[in-house]
Amino acid sequence: MALPRRLLIANRGEIAVRVIRACRDLDISPIAVYAPVDAGAPHVRLADEALLLPGDVPAESYLNGPLLVELARRTGAAALHPGYGFLAENPAFAALCEEAGLAFVGPPADVLRRCGDKAAARAAADASGVPILRGTPPVDDDVAGREARAVGFPLLIKAAGGGGGKGIHLVRGPSDLASALRLARGEAQAAFGDPRVYLERWLEQPRHVEVQILADHQGGVIHLGERACSVQRRHQKLIEEAPAPGLPAALREALVTAAVRVARTLGYRNAGTIEFLVDGEEFFFIEVNARIQVEHPVTELVTGVDLIAAQVLIASGAPLPWRQADLRWTGCALECRISAEDPHAGFLPSLGRIDGVTEPAGPGVRVDSGAWPGQVVSRHYDPLLSKVITTGPSREAAIDRMRRALREYAISGVSTTIPFHLWALDQPAFARGLYDVRFADGWEPEPPTPEVERLATLAAAAWFHRRLTTPTLPADGAVGRWIGAGREESLR
Amino acid sequence: MRVEATVSGHRRIVEVRGTADEYIIRVGGEAVPFRLRPDAGSECFRLEVGGQTIPVRICAAGGGASVIIGTARVAVGLRRALPIPSRRNAGLGASARREVRAPIPGLVVAVPVAQGATVAPHTPVAIIEAMKMQMEVPAAAAGRIEDLRVRPGQEVAGGAVLAVIACPPDATGMDAPAVAGQGA
């Protein structure tokens, strides 16, 4: 089967840019869509055509399934890439694409349905002989108390209808159950349109390790190795790396074998991730993420495989161009997610307008970014701005390059997670690779040293002086910057 | 220009001289030459001092600046040093009313309390959704809901007052009573 000539990207931000780049490499014409607030975004500029969506609210924009299919039809796109989040794991939307004759770049609707039903995915893993955590089917409020006692506290409440960390709540004891259930149901309803939740045993200090899978329509399934994603907060990943540090070879082999087995049992197609918790020598299946993941670049950099291009190839009906034995892993890769969140204020979303961005580059540094000067960080969308991915022959080299890259990264207008990442890289537990999912809980903005306070005082005083002495003219665009600069100069 | 800079309650007079981002600062008799080079946008600079360059982000916050250096954030109170003594040290005293404010802008999805209800410090007063996350806003003090100002479905700005709680005289909230003075 031939590749599509044109492909519509039903997403925004860094992942839309990433898909556009894969399209260029495959000689496919990329078509972007955008909400009004994203009008100046990089994905709009880089695509061959960009179509305006009616509103900023997700339901009117990137969740507007029927309109997105109609726009694909109107622009002559033969395929649609959903990115991650939004409609990426929505079986009804995948079916809508199929009915319209569009190749949905992801698993087919029936696979999405099986993976999206977390209870069914757990049952599939169980059936393929892969260990799972003790848990329940979706529960009603009136039996939740009894079910919770059977699972044992502490436990997690998880949304049956979706992943991505939404709707997950930790319950330490029976007294917290009712309020956590209410919040979890509310989030699950808002994020996935499905209020069903289930309960699952919670491990105190596990590590999160996941395996990247590619499966074609001819029955070929390969794995591309594992990623370690234990640096998490509120079940949102912050740092990911490949390979997983400190994972014994035998355990790694067991994990990747289990992942391929789960993928086969589910009849999996396209790119997917099988997530596990590792506790000592034990491991447990948790869920399948039936989409390309935010952290896919670390796998790309250690395997040399373009995962987005592979997704498009598979969706067009091509068999996998590699056998398992063809894959080689080289070096180490590390990813830091740069989000508009304030690590000094409990990681609250930092809303505002970005008025300047300087991104890092150089040897061993890749930046997948959707950030731009003028960008309004609104509450409608995920706060992820970009990802910095570094590589090196060793883990230490990748970490050193990350430190260099983060010090080059300057984003003005919103707070970002960069200070958290700088902290994480310097923690002895992280340097040794001996960190678990509790690691990020140790973040506490340390009281500044006297030297840092001295530097801050110098910088603040000069900044204050600069503000009081620098004349400014309103930047309304009515005056050209050249003329404006001249006028400002004459006022000095 | 003489600037009064306050860090962690410690006040210092800093003398700033210079132009075009090149400064000499005098702190307690010690002269420090440095540059503050704009890096990106209105907030990001590189501080060149003592033979090295340090990325900093400086943004206006309250009556001063919030300076981010590496992993640390330092709140610096700033004002021009004037020879007039401050009048801002008169205490306001503890209030018997407590306002519950929205920590971020968002959509109110639920208001689990009613007007006139009695609340404990941790009782959720509202549930706000932003960026696909829901969070409970606790009452912050024990008392009675005197004025409930939001309904489910309403959009609120960050810092908007959601409810006003009338606290009994002996109520102890989660925070110490407000202290007047330089805000951080």
Average pLDDT over residues A53-73: 96
Smallest CA–CA distance, residue B94 to chain A, in Å, is: 25
Among B36, B70, B127, whose Cβ lies nearest the Cβ of A419? Answer: B70
- Is the per-residue pLDDT at A470 higher than 90? no
Q: Residue B92's pLDDT is what? A: 39
Query: How confident is the model over A183-204, as pLDDT tens digits?
Result: 999 888 888 888 899 998 889 8
Q: Which two tokens stand for residue A290?
A: 């039936």
Whether B124 contacts chain A with CB within 8 A: yes
Measure Cα distances from A100 to A77, A93, A96, A216 in Å. 11, 11, 6, 22
Q: Residue B175's pLDDT is what? A: 38
Q: Residue A71's pLDDT is what? A: 98
- pLDDT-based confidence at A284, cuts 50/70/90? very high
Whether residues B78 and A383 touch (CB distance < 8 A) is answered with no
CA distance A400 to A396: 6
Q: What is the CA radius of gyration of chain B?
A: 22
Q: Residue B177's pLDDT is what? A: 34
Least confident stretch, A233-237, A247-251, A263-267, A313-317: A233-237
- B24 and B33 in contact (C-beta within 8 Å)? yes
Closest residue in chain A to residue B32, using alpha carbons only: A458
Q: What is the ipTM of this complex?
A: 0.83
pLDDT in tens, chain B (184 residues): 889 999 988 888 888 888 767 888 887 777 888 889 999 999 999 999 989 999 999 999 888 999 999 999 999 999 988 765 444 443 334 457 888 888 778 889 999 998 888 998 888 899 888 877 788 888 878 889 988 988 898 888 877 889 988 887 654 443 333 333 333 3
Q: Residue A484's pLDDT is what? A: 61
Q: Is A291 a catalytic residue?
A: yes
Q: Tally A–B CB contacts below 8 A.
A: 185
Q: Residue A411's pLDDT is what? A: 98
**B contacts of A415 (beta carbons < 8 Å):** 68
Q: Residue A231's pLDDT is what? A: 97
- Among A64, A87, A74, A62, CA closest to A12: A62
Mean pLDDT of chain A: 93
- Among A280, A255, A259, A257, CA closest to A268: A259
Q: Residue A188's pLDDT is what? A: 87
Choose, from A207, A269, A291, A366, the residue flagged as catalytic: A291
Average pLDDT over residues A394-399: 98
Q: Of B136 and A121, which is predicted with more confidence?
A: A121
Average pLDDT over residues A409-434: 97
Among A420, A459, A465, whose Cβ lies nearest the Cβ of B56? Answer: A459
Query: How confident is the model over A6-53, as pLDDT tens digits?
Result: 999 999 999 999 999 999 999 999 999 999 999 999 999 999 999 999
Burial A269-301 (b: 16+ CB within 10 A, else e): bbbbbbbbbbeeeebbbbbbbbbbbbbbbbbbb
- Is the per-residue pLDDT at A277 higher than 70? yes
